């Protein structure tokens, strides 16, 4: 699989250190579309703190990727659904921690979740 970051230098606002405008993927043989994933324990319970939910959502995503014989290095798109705009910076920090130096297209949207104790939900697309 070959990846190429697309960040036009003119005619559009600049990309930031944690963000790319687009990622071109060529030669991928498999694509994985992951449903919105919450920071829930295996029992289905949501911890009270945002930090615990962020840790769990990325652990849950890694578990799904592992089952598909992939890792976070295969992620090509991240969409975060936040219950409060004040969560954005901590969500960004958790994403950067989970992805390391990898930068992929990402969007964060403020929403109302299906359960009041779900503070965050993340969906990803991965390719291999």
64/83 Cα distance (integer angstroms):
23
Handedness of CA 51, 125, 98, 45 (dihedral sign): positive
Q: Say what the pLDDT of residue 93 is.
A: 97
Q: Say what the pLDDT of residue 19 is.
A: 87
DSSP, residue by residue, 42-97: TTSPPPSSHHHHHHHHHHHHHHHHHHTT--GGGEEEEEEEESSGGGHHHHHHHHHH
What is the DSSP secondary structure assignment for residue 98, as one 8-state letter?
H
99/102 Cα distance (integer angstroms):
5
Please tell me the pTM assigned to this model: 0.94
Cβ(100)–Cβ(127) below 8 Å: no
- Assign domain 28-127 to a CATH class: alpha beta
| Mean of pLDDT values over 95-117 | 95
pLDDT greater than 90 at residue 101:
yes
pLDDT in tens, 26-76: 999 999 999 999 999 999 999 999 999 999 999 999 999 999 999 999 999
| Mean of pLDDT values over 69-88 | 98
Average pLDDT of the chain?
Answer: 96
């Amino acid at each position: 699989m070959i990846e190429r970051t697309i960040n036009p230098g003119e005619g559009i606002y600049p990309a930031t250190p944690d963000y790319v405008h687009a990622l071109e993927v060529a030669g991928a043989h498999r694509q994985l579309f992951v449903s919105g994933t919450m920071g829930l324990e295996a029992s289905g319970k949501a911890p009270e703190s945002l930090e615990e939910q962020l840790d769990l959502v990325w652990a849950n995503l890694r578990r799904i990727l592992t089952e598909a014989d992939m890792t976070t290095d295969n992620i090509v798109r991240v969409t975060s659904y936040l219950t409060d705009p004040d969560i954005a910076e901590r969500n960004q920090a958790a994403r950067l921690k989970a992805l390391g130096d990898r930068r992929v297209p990402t969007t964060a949207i403020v929403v109302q979740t299906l359960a009041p104790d779900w503070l965050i939900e993340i969906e990803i697309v991965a390719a291999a």
